[in-house]
Homo-oligomer: A and B are copies of this chain.
């Protein structure tokens, strides 16, 4: 340990954290106002706000400007695997589908010419009235006009690139998470046997409520041909 003396901020955060996990502060409840809490703990408001920022980064509380600080409902930890979130009970989804033209990063991702017509589907999943995760799926229109996402008819390969980062301000506000809560960003590209890209997806999974699981089976051929 480098720091022997715990800071006031950490002490207060620890106290509130145990009150939340012990159930003294119930899910959905509003915390006392920040000046009130600061007086209770005998600290200044900035110090108290630093403590709350820690809890927010852990996903324990939700700060709503002008309304107050609220204890989050504990969200079940879901596992993303094989293109799905499991278990997907109790999840409801809003889908907004629009037609866009390929631009920027999408061009090399989908391996299509610029301004190719794409179907963009924005999935926003909810768990118990609060946003859970975000997915944006792009399908080239000229390739598969009739096929729905999640059906994988002729997929030969999917590549999933996984990154950990902090959310953009837009992501943070739509998911109602702290801008300091780590998220799992997955870029998934599926292609058919000819190498054509059939679908590309950008997934945003908040780190406090989602894992990703990848299972690799090593066949004997693979093991033999490895360099």
- The CA of A163 and the CA of B227, in the complex, are separated in Å by 29
Give every chain B residue within 8 A of A173 (Cβ-Cβ).
Answer: 2
A116 interface residue, CB < 8 Å from B? no
Contact B218 A158 (CB under 8 A): yes
Closest to A226 in B: B152
Determine, out of A34-42, A105-113, A206-214, the stretch whose residues face the partner at the interface. Answer: A206-214
Partner of A163, one of B156, B184, B217, B223: B184
Which A residues are closer than 8 A to B by beta carbons? 2, 46, 57, 79, 82, 152, 155-166, 173, 180, 182-185, 205, 207-208, 211-218, 223
A183 touching B158, Cβ below 8 Å? no
Contact indicator B184/A166 (Cβ below 8 Å): no
Query: Please, how many angstroms separate the alpha-carbon atoms of A46 and B45 in the complex?
Result: 14
A214 near B159: Cβ-Cβ < 8 Å: yes
**Could you show 10 A-B contacts with beta carbons less than 8 Å apart?**
A157-B217, A158-B216, A159-B214, A159-B215, A160-B215, A162-B184, A162-B211, A163-B184, A166-B182, A214-B214
Minimum distance in angstroms from A163 CB to a CB of chain B? 5
Q: Decide: A216 near B160, CB < 8 A? Known: A57-B166, A166-B57.
A: yes
Q: In the complex, what distance in Å separates the CA atom of A217 from the CA atom of B193?
A: 10
Distance in angstroms between the alpha carbons of A33 and B162 in the assembled complex: 37
Q: Across the interface, which residues of B come within 8 angstroms of A180, CB to CB? A: 57, 166, 180
